[in-house]
Amino acid sequence: MKHNFLIRPIFFLTVLLNMLCTGQLLAQKKTNIILLFADDAGYHDFGFQGSKTFPTPHLDKLASEGMIMREAYTTAAVCGPSRAGLLTGMYQQRFGFEENNVPGYMSTSSNKIGDEMGLPVHLKTIADYLEPLGYQSIILGKWHMGNADKYHPLGRGFDEFYGFRGGARSFFPLSQKEAFDRPADRMERGFGNFQEPDKYLTDALADEACDFMDRNKNKPFFMYVSFNAVHAPLHATKEDLEKVKGLTGKRKMLAAMTIAMDRACGQILGKLKELGLDENTLVVFANDNGGPDGTLTCNYPLSGCKSNHLEGGIRVPCIVKLPKVIKAGTVYQQPVSMLDMLPTFVNAAGGNAAEIQGLDGVDLIPYLTGENNSVPHEVLFWKKENRGVVRQGDWKMLRFPDRPAELYNIAEDISESNNLAYEYPDKVREMYKLLFEWEGTLERPLWQLKRVYEVNAMKRMDEKRTPVLDN
């Protein structure tokens, strides 16, 4: 009897320890998630996209280890709305985030202006959905979802924040005057702890990312590395400029900024491997909208640029890597959307995105692995002001306020040089109706840009119709 009394506690203790260890192992097996997100990068300005003048060896290596998305789209041609769609998995027009939230550019008729323009607080973000699944989440870099305290990342599901609340800032430490004049540009650690980096910002973000992984290597994490590179201002270090060959002027500066971002990605991915986490981490690299101007950045072979809905404004470079699930060195040719990141991440984390109401994105993994042989999206939409776009299969129709609609077959005419609207009026009518019906589900914009910026966007579209190759 005494012997049995001794055995029972030992037995139960052993069972308890096994359960705890099993739970720990299950936690360790949860897939980590890293989103490397560039800002205003050109579609062609990466080695894995064909560039010969923008060296990106680390991202090229990531592409060789993962899958390249040839038809990845953002939900807007400017960064604020596109990031709102990314973070919520919903078309941002559904909740009135249609225009870029840049203080000082708004019409006086807007419902919200200045720091009050932000992601409505009732909406959940990717980090909100990952939190109950046991994930530690951080955003590094650009937030741009509202400058007011109520929009702060630490109130939107993220556990940590090292970045700035606004949409663009210097890559070098701000002076006291700059910080006073543009408070949303200040680098902030956590909430209200403003501290400028002691080095080039892209490098500082990489350091912080590596530190976060070190501190969280034994628990599942979501890391949103929201680079402000290569958005203006054009700032590069002397050392990176010396690495650029065959370019001058602004293109040289942009290439140097890209070198720094590629190095930062390489540092992060290297740390992931050093910690032994690379085989259990979903890594996505993408961009928030098309490259601006069309001559500063290179969007070849696409026409158009940031702020318009030609392919160069909304199609972006994208890589997805998930070892043992997604075949390395492959290419996916069907249209995907940044709306798909939320459901993909939630399901990868062990959640069930199908239970989330109102999502417009889909879990991409079954499509990328071939488990689902259909296409992720039969139809995709874009809208800003009176401009609207619908892509249905290979067909793309663009509606404008100042001219007749345009129709293109993207599979046969990636540069959108052959307008087929007059040859296929019935197709235009069909797609126009699809767009109109979708618009009936949307909210009115919470704020609106001054009309001159919409006029300027149309002018840039007309000026950047012809793709220009800069190898």
CB 361 within 8 A of CB 232: no
Which stretches of the chain drop beneath a pLDDT of 50?
1-3, 5-7, 12, 15-16, 19-27
**Which phi and psi angles does 154 have, rounded to 5°?**
-70, -10
What Rg, from alpha-carbon coordinates, does the chain have?
23
Sign of torsion over alpha carbons 67, 71, 74, 78:
positive
CA 452 to chain centre: 27
CA–CA separation, 344 and 374 (whole Å): 16
- Are the beta carbons of 164 and 143 closer than 8 angstroms? yes
With beta carbons less than 8 A apart as the criterion, state whether 462 and 303 touch: no
Q: Do 111 and 446 contact (CB within 8 A), yes or no? A: yes
CB-CB neighbours of 116 under 10 Å = 17
At residue 25, the pLDDT reads: 43
Q: How do strand 67-69 and strand 193-194 relate by DSSP bridges? A: unpaired
pLDDT of residue 8: 54
CA dihedral 415, 419, 424, 425 (to 10 degrees): 130
What pLDDT was estimated at residue 183?
96
Instruction: Count the Cβ atoms, other than its own, within 10 Å of residue 24.
Output: 12
pLDDT digits (tens, 9 = 90+) for 93-111: 999 999 999 988 888 777 7
Is there a contact between 432 and 389 (Cβ–Cβ < 8 Å)? no
Q: Where do the structural domains in the chain lie, given as residue ranges? A: 31-377
61 burial (CB, 10 Å; 0-12 / 13-18 / 19+) is middle
**What's residue 468's pLDDT?**
84
Residue 464 near residue 428, CB atoms below 8 Å:
no
Say how far apart CA 61 and CA 70 lie, in whole Å. 17
What pLDDT shows up at residue 27? 45
Helix axes 57-65, 249-274, angle to 10 degrees: 50
Structure tokens belonging to residue 310: 């030609």
**Residues 427, 269: Cα–Cα separation, whole Å:** 46
Q: Which CATH architecture has domain 31-377?
A: 3-Layer(aba) Sandwich (3.40)
Residue 434 has what pLDDT? 98
